[in-house]
Amino acid sequence: MTRWGRAVLPLAVVLVVVIAVWYAGAAWLNFDVTANLAEDDATTWEILQGTMSQDRPLLPAPHQLVAELFSSVFEHPIDSPKSLIYHASVTAFAAFLGFLIALALGIGLAIGIVHVRTLDRSLMLWIIASQTIPVLAIAPMVVVVLGNIGFTGLLPKSLIAGYLSFFPIVTGMVKGLRSPDPMQRDLMRTYSASGLHLFTMLRWPASMSFLLPSLKVAATLALVGAIVAELPTGAQAGLGARLLSGSYYGQTLQIWAALFMASFLALLAIGVVDLFRLVLIRRRGGRL
Amino acid sequence: MTVLELLLLAAGGAAGLSLLARREGRLGQVGTPLLFGALVLAAWQIACVEFEIPRVLLPAPSAVAAAIVRSLPILAADFMQTVAHAVLIGWLLGSGAGLLAAVALDRSAFLRRGVLPLGSLVSAMPIVGIAPIMVMWFGFDWQSKAAVIVVMTFFPMLVNATAGLEATGTMERDLMHSYGAGYWQTLLKLRLPYALPFVFNALKLNSTLALIGGIVAEFFGTPIVGMGFRISTEVARMNLDVVWAEITMAAVVGSASFAALALVERAVTFWHPSFRA
Amino acid sequence: MQAAPPAPTAAAPVVRARNLSLVFDADGQKTVALSDVSLDIAGGSFVSLIGPSGCGKTTLLRAIADLERPTSGSLVVNGLSPEQARRNRAYGYVFQAPALYPWRSVERNVMLPLEIMGMPPEERRRRAERYLDLVGLREFRRRFPWQLSGGMQQRVSIARALSFEPALLLMDEPFGALDEITRDGLNLHLHRLWRSTGMTVIFVTHSIPEAVYLSSRIVVMSPRPGKVVEIIDVDLPGERELDVRETPAFLAVAHRVREALRAGHSYD
């Protein structure tokens, strides 16, 4: 089998199975509701057909979801609150801003930790421990408290997104900056290289293969942070707001569409990081 | 306190940290972060008292401690609802199903190539968002939260356990082959033990994910008990000391379960290079 | 770039160690790595340090390179302290492993010390080309380290050490991890390089044939504590081919080295 066939054929088969199970699940889950709404003399076949086109299905059929995604993405101007693109961009922008803040602060702090022993000893344990703690739990409080002192909308969301993505960036970067082995460092010493040379020619390039995987984690965390930060104040715009209002009004199609859009954003973010990785790999002759 | 006194205090703390950080051995390694934590708490307390920061913005650590003591029954009820039911059951079911799926997929390279890319993809998605759907399917109580956690923890375990099952070297496999060992013997005696470090990695990662899932899923709707429910309602009522009490409990539960898993891992996979000093 | 140190006169040795001792202290556990080592290394010579593991040969080399601090005694490199010599970039160092930076191409690995020393780009390229040519790897200059075999990688690291034309080359078991055939080829290569440049080489090894073949002088060391047992002059023709290793004169020197190693071992 060709490489293409080896990679794509299994994936295609599994996807077909997933979609088939999805249709079966939709028929099964929506059956009772449909039967209750149907006329008394409806045949089983008619009810089954009905399960595929409920307004508020327990599980929308795949084609319903595609139709909903299509109409909410393409049939409204992108600045209208009915457009899913509008909501996605609100969330994505907050996540992206938070990610940038975390990137700058995270790399800066990692450099400090690697070079200043007091920082290393004081902070590293807490930074590692914080990865075992559900920090997302503070999101509602941050949003509400910042709202009380007059900051609403973008800023609280970006702060939470940044706070979440900060930790993987710091730990990845500290690991990376420390990754050069003693021999590689001794080499620099035999050249009597300055601290700046040691950093720019050894530590920094060596850190990249550690930073990039943690950037993927950080990017998806930023997105989750931005979405959850939209929940507590009942935000009017954003994917989190779409999820929440969908769940209030039983608009299942709206929930599923927002979920798929969020997943698409996560893939997009990972894709962008991967693109950076590929560029770097090309410059390094095929390996990171 | 005057500004001068505060500055002196800060300078003293920084000097103490840098002195302690230079010490070799346990004192420097454990003492420095502990002193740092104590200093942060002290600064927080002083700031709240001296600058009269309103309680609705930031309650002092003493107020949080008081809230913990005062609301112990509430905390216990929330713990039972969120941790003992949703998180524990979801984590067990999700991780267990992920492990079983990995063993099942192990026999078919074709299925593995189809499912694994999908699994890594799903792991990277904001799965907590399915909470409202799970509420529709399983009701408001802990069952729907456990369902969210099952989905969140299934794929990381699947991906990690599969990598673990593939971690055995060809030499070890050839050895089992030379003994005429069958598939199940090789699996039980060689490949599963080899996969254990990977499985524990997933269990540890999943314990954090499960706690996040349990709390955040409750933001979408829940009966009147649970850590996520408490956080969102007490935030709305400006009882921030109770919110901080819940956050403290979440932090303790998170790091304690991580530490407990790490201890079990050490006992079970003591032979792994990372534990040999 | 700092001024080059004055060239050592024929009389003054390049390295001069007197009663050198070095004790490692790890958490109160003291290990005597070097004990009372006195040694002169003349300019232009090829000196091997040989001995079993734990005899301090690598530690001595690292002390000369200012990668370790002696506990007592005096150590002079090019008439300066090891630290000053290092700051003057007096020596090139070749490690046990190639220690190439995987994100740099072969050529840019060779240029690494030149960049640090602030050489203009034109000169950097010229030197990299010259020294890669010297180790026979010119056509591989655009490759990356992992695309080369172990022997080729170590040749790159030798070119890197030569690129800034130090008068002293320190080599710490550079061929220890290579197979014997590759090693033979590199020995021949290194021998010709030393003959053509006239530089001083200090070479750590635990292979007797390698030491005898390459060296003008062999320093035999013994372990626990690391000290010099015997210094043996190698009386073989200056220009050597690999088959010199089968001559009686070669075997006689090898025998003396082996006897000295055995004597160093007898009392532990």
- Residue B180 Cα, gap to closest chain A Cα (Å): 30
- C116: chain A residues, CB-CB within 8 Å: 188, 191, 193-194, 197, 201
| Residue-wise pLDDT tens digits, A226-269 | 998 888 766 678 888 888 888 888 888 888 889 889 999 999 99
Q: In C70-207, which residue ranges form alpha helices assigned H by DSSP?
A: 82-87, 106-116, 121-134, 150-162, 180-197
DSSP 8-state assignment for residue C56: S
User: Looking at the complex, does the CB of residue C8 fall below 8 Å from at least one CB of chain A?
Assistant: no
User: Looking at the complex, does the CB of residue C189 fall below 8 Å from at least one CB of chain A?
Assistant: no
- Residue A218 Cα, gap to closest chain B Cα (Å): 10
User: Looking at the complex, does the CB of residue A182 fall below 8 Å from at least one CB of chain C?
Assistant: no
User: Looking at the complex, does the CB of residue A223 fall below 8 Å from at least one CB of chain B?
Assistant: yes
**Three-class SS state of A15:** helix
Domains of chain C: 43-90+167-268 (3.40.50.300), 101-165 (no CATH)
A286 pLDDT exceeds 80? no
- Residue B108 Cα, gap to closest chain A Cα (Å): 11
| Residue-wise pLDDT tens digits, A155-177 | 889 999 999 999 999 999 999 99
- B128: chain A residues, CB-CB within 8 Å: 224, 227-228
Q: Do B115 and A14 touch (CB under 8 A)?
A: yes
**Which CA distances in Å does A16 have to A19, A21, A260, C159?**
5, 9, 18, 57
Q: Do A284 and C117 touch (CB under 8 A)?
A: no
At residue C6, the pLDDT reads: 46
Q: Do A287 and C144 touch (CB under 8 A)?
A: yes
Q: What residue of C is the nearest CA neighbor of A198?
A: C116
Instruction: Read off φ and ψ for residue C150, nearest 5 degrees.
Output: -55, -45
Tell me how far the alpha carbon of residue A262 is from its chain's centroid: 7
At residue B178, the pLDDT reads: 83
A138 pLDDT exceeds 80? yes
pLDDT under 50 in chain B at which residues? none
Tell me how far the alpha carbon of residue A6 is from its chain's centroid: 28
At residue B250, the pLDDT reads: 92
At residue A49, the pLDDT reads: 79
CB pairs under 8 A between A and C: 57
Q: Do A284 and C102 touch (CB under 8 A)?
A: yes
| DSSP notation for C123-134 | HHHHHHHHHHHH
**Which CA distances in Å does A28 have to A23, A34, A156, A257, B133?**
9, 10, 42, 21, 16
Q: Supply the ipTM of this predicted assembly.
A: 0.84
Instruction: Read off φ and ψ for residue C229, nearest 5 degrees.
Output: -90, -45
CB pairs under 8 A between A and B: 164
- Ramachandran area for residue A230 (φ above 0: left; ψ -120 to 50: alpha; else beta): alpha
Q: Do the beta carbons of residue C151 and residue C178 sit within 8 Å?
A: yes
Give every strand in the sheet of C72-77, ordered side by side. C29-41, C15-26, C72-77
At residue A1, the pLDDT reads: 52
> From the candidates B219, B227, B249, B257, which should be mutated to test the interface with A, based on the most A CB atoms within 10 A?
B219
Q: Do B57 and A149 touch (CB under 8 A)?
A: yes
- Residue B204 Cα, gap to closest chain A Cα (Å): 8
- Residue C211 Cα, gap to closest chain A Cα (Å): 24
Nearest CB neighbour to B114, from listed A11, A120, A250? A11
Q: Do C95 and A197 touch (CB under 8 A)?
A: no
Which CATH number is associated with domain A84-283?
1.10.3720.10
The first and second tokens of residue B133, run together, are: 């759907």
Name the pairing type of β-strands C200-205 and C168-172: parallel
Nearest CB neighbour to C144, from listed A192, A201, A285? A285
**Three-class SS state of A193:** coil
**Three-class SS state of A260:** helix
**Three-class SS state of A266:** helix
- A183: chain C residues, CB-CB within 8 Å: 95-97, 99
Q: Do A134 and B32 touch (CB under 8 A)?
A: no
Quick one: what percent of chain A has pLDDT higher than 90? 36
User: Looking at the complex, does the CB of residue A281 fall below 8 Å from at least one CB of chain C?
Assistant: no
Instruction: Indicate the range of A198-202, B121-125, B237-241, C219-223 predicted with least confidence.
Output: B121-125
Name the more confident of A75 and C93: C93
Q: Do the beta carbons of residue A173 and residue A210 sit within 8 Å?
A: yes
- The residue assigned the tokens 């600064």 is B43
Q: Do C92 and A190 touch (CB under 8 A)?
A: yes
Burial letters C218-234, b for 16+ CB under 10 A, else e: bbbbbbebbbbbbebeb
Q: Do the beta carbons of residue C244 and residue C90 sit within 8 Å?
A: no
Burial class (CB in 10 A: 0-12, 13-18, 19+), A194: exposed
Q: Do A287 and C115 touch (CB under 8 A)?
A: no
At residue C266, the pLDDT reads: 53
- CA-CA distance, A265 to A273, in Å (whole number)? 12
Burial class (CB in 10 A: 0-12, 13-18, 19+), C216: middle
- CA-CA distance, B214 to A6, in Å (whole number)? 38
Rounded to a whole number of angstroms, the CA Rg of chain A reads 24
Q: Do the beta carbons of residue C136 and residue C155 sit within 8 Å?
A: yes
Rounded to a whole number of angstroms, the CA Rg of chain C reads 18
Q: What residue of A is the nearest CA neighbor of C67?
A: A186
Burial letters B119-147, b for 16+ CB under 10 A, else e: beebbbbbbbbbbbbbbbeeebbbbbbbb
| Residue-wise pLDDT tens digits, A51-110 | 787 778 888 888 888 888 888 888 888 778 888 889 899 999 999 999 999 999 999 999
- C95: chain A residues, CB-CB within 8 Å: 183, 186-187
- CA-CA distance, B53 to B226, in Å (whole number)? 29
- Residue C256 Cα, gap to closest chain A Cα (Å): 34
C5 pLDDT exceeds 60? no
Nearest CB neighbour to A201, from listed C87, C102, C112? C112
Q: Do the beta carbons of residue B128 and residue A258 sit within 8 Å?
A: no
C225: preceding bond cis by omega (within 30 degrees): yes
Q: What residue of A is the nearest CA neighbor of C66?
A: A190
User: Looking at the complex, does the CB of residue A33 fall below 8 Å from at least one CB of chain B?
Assistant: no
The first and second tokens of residue C138, run together, are: 């010119």
Nearest CB neighbour to A193, from listed C97, C105, C116? C116
At residue A2, the pLDDT reads: 65
User: Looking at the complex, does the CB of residue C92 fall below 8 Å from at least one CB of chain A?
Assistant: yes
- Residue B218 Cα, gap to closest chain A Cα (Å): 11
Q: Do C147 and A188 touch (CB under 8 A)?
A: no
At residue C8, the pLDDT reads: 46
> From the candidates B22, B26, B27, B136, which should be mutated to test the interface with A, based on the most A CB atoms within 10 A?
B136
- CA-CA distance, A209 to A283, in Å (whole number)? 13
- Residue ranges covered by each domain of chain A: 3-58, 84-283
- CA-CA distance, A155 to A146, in Å (whole number)? 9
The first and second tokens of residue B234, run together, are: 């007490």
Q: Give the mean model confidence (pLDDT) for residues C205-219.
A: 92
Q: Do B215 and A134 touch (CB under 8 A)?
A: yes
**Which CA distances in Å does A237 have to A82, A140, A227, B13, B36?**
10, 16, 10, 45, 40
- CA-CA distance, B96 to C26, in Å (whole number)? 45
Q: Do A133 and B251 touch (CB under 8 A)?
A: yes
- CA-CA distance, B113 to B108, in Å (whole number)? 9
